């Protein structure tokens, strides 16, 4: 992300070995903050919700791409497509709803993180688009 968005450029700086050390230090600091301040259950629910939403977005992206660009050659054909993707999205939706209803205090920060990320992405994309014009 540091290489893709100028605002986060300081994260994309690599050391002499080509390793984005600043990004690694930043991510490590965030992980340590979670470990120090949270319980195992809080971390598990938080990360589980975030990963579930990211996986669902990836699968939804596959479905959207198949509709928008149906003529692209694909190296693998999913058996019974789109049934497995729809089942996957349904299970993911159930997990998200369950976590938000039953484990709200632990799941809500994960949802907020995803929403903040979406807003930041939208703002950065809008800004980069304006700079290109």
By three-state DSSP, how is residue 124 classified? helix
Among 89, 90, 112, smallest CA distance to 100 is for 112
Provide the pLDDT for residue 109: 92
Q: What's the pLDDT score for residue 3?
A: 61
Tell me what pLDDT residue 106 has. 92
pTM of the full structure: 0.79
* Helical axes 40-68 vs 21-37, angle rounded to 10°: 130
Is 93 within 8 Å of 56 (Cβ atoms)?
yes
Give the span between the Cα atoms of 114 and 100, in whole angstroms.
14
How far apart (Å, rounded) are the C-alpha atoms in residues 67 and 20? 36
Distance CA 37, CA 22 (A): 22
Q: Using one digit for the tens of pLDDT, what is the confidence trace for 80-105? A: 999 999 999 999 999 999 999 999 99
Q: Is residue 36 classed exposed, middle or buried when 0-12, 13-18 and 19+ CB atoms within 10 A define those classes?
A: exposed
Least confident of 34-38, 71-75, 88-92, 126-130: 126-130
Question: To the nearest whole percent, how much of the chain has pLDDT over 70?
Answer: 94
Kindly state the average pLDDT of the residues 40-67. Answer: 94
- Side-chain-facing half-sphere of 114: CA atoms under 13 Å: 17
Record the tokens describing residue 126, joined without a space.
């809008």
Percent of the chain's residues with pLDDT above 90: 61
What is residue 7's predicted lDDT score, i.e. its pLDDT? 64
């Amino acid at each position: 992300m540091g290489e893709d968005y100028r605002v986060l450029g300081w994260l994309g700086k690599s050391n002499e070995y080509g390793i984005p050390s600043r990004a690694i230090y930043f991510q490590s600091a965030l992980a340590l903050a979670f470990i120090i301040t949270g319980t195992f259950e809080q971390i598990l629910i938080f990360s589980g919700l975030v990963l579930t939403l990211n996986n669902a977005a990836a699968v939804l992206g596959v479905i959207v791409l198949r509709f928008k660009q149906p003529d692209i050659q694909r190296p693998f054909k999913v058996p019974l497509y789109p049934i497995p993707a729809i089942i996957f999205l349904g299970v993911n939706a159930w997990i998200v709803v369950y976590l938000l209803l039953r484990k709200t205090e632990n799941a809500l920060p994960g949802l907020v993180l995803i929403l903040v990320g979406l807003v930041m992405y939208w703002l950065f994309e809008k800004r980069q688009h304006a700079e290109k014009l």
